[in-house]
Amino acid sequence: MKEGVKVPKVTFRVRIRDENNEYDWADLTTDQIFRGKKVAVFSLPGAFTPTCSSMQLPAYEQKYDELKKHVDEVYCLSVNDSFVMNAWAKDLAVENVKMIPDGGAHFTRAMGMLVEKPMQNFGMRSWRYSMIVDDGVVTHFMEEVGRNDFSQDDDPYEVSDPDTMLKKLGNTTFMQDITNNN
């Protein structure tokens, strides 16, 4: 994935609460998430895993208000189903960050970020990254180094954190360049 590229068009199957406070299935499209909005997205290998649960998701939840000064919404994406993502958010008392379950890995695969994680017996998962998307266009893409399949048990967490994202959000030069050239 490169900056200046549109995100793939995908429909996610999500479980949401209805008017009776019961969960029901719904479709959530990338157009609903990205069209006409500036959003922060971070993607991680899996719900309930050590780095994702102890550092990345809690850090984004903690920095949510600060991020919202620059973006319309903050999303966490993982190759997990909606049941798992909802249970994970509940377990960590996440109230602000919106969860995106990419259970079929359609978005992650189209982003070129799908990796095999056999050392943990995970199967196919997302490589850890974050991005800022403005009206469907990736303006900043922060990918952790060392993306690989099979060969290593790496799980870096250095550039997909909320502090790096906040630094990027403070630098609007890239988006101004795109806007001025169109």
Query: What is the pLDDT averaged over residues 104-112?
Result: 96
Whether 6 is in a domain gets the answer no
Whether 149 is in a domain gets the answer yes
The 8-class DSSP code of residue 56 comes to I
Over 80: is that where the pLDDT of 127 sits? yes
Active-site positions read 52
pLDDT bin (cut points 50, 70, 90) of residue 180 is: very low
pLDDT bin (cut points 50, 70, 90) of residue 171 is: low
How confident is the model at residue 23, as a pLDDT?
85
How confident is the model at residue 147, as a pLDDT?
77
**Digit-coded pLDDT (tens) for 49-102:** 899 999 999 999 999 999 999 999 999 999 999 999 999 999 999 999 999 999
Residue 114 region, left (φ>0) first, then alpha (ψ -120 to 50), else beta?
Answer: beta
How far apart are alpha carbons 102 and 133 in whole angstroms? 17
Q: What is the pTM of this model?
A: 0.89
Whether 31 is in a domain gets the answer yes
Helix ranges, 57-172 (H):
57-62, 64-68, 82-91, 106-110, 162-170
129-134/73-78 β-pairing = unpaired
- Residue range of the domain that includes 51: 11-181
**Digit-coded pLDDT (tens) for 26-39:** 999 999 999 999 99
CB neighbour class for 173 (10 Å; exposed up to 12, middle 13-18, buried from 19)? exposed
Percent of the chain with pLDDT over 90: 73
- Report the chain's mean pLDDT, rounded to a whole number: 89
Q: How many domains does one find in the chain?
A: 1
- CATH number for the domain spanning 154: value is 3.40.30.10
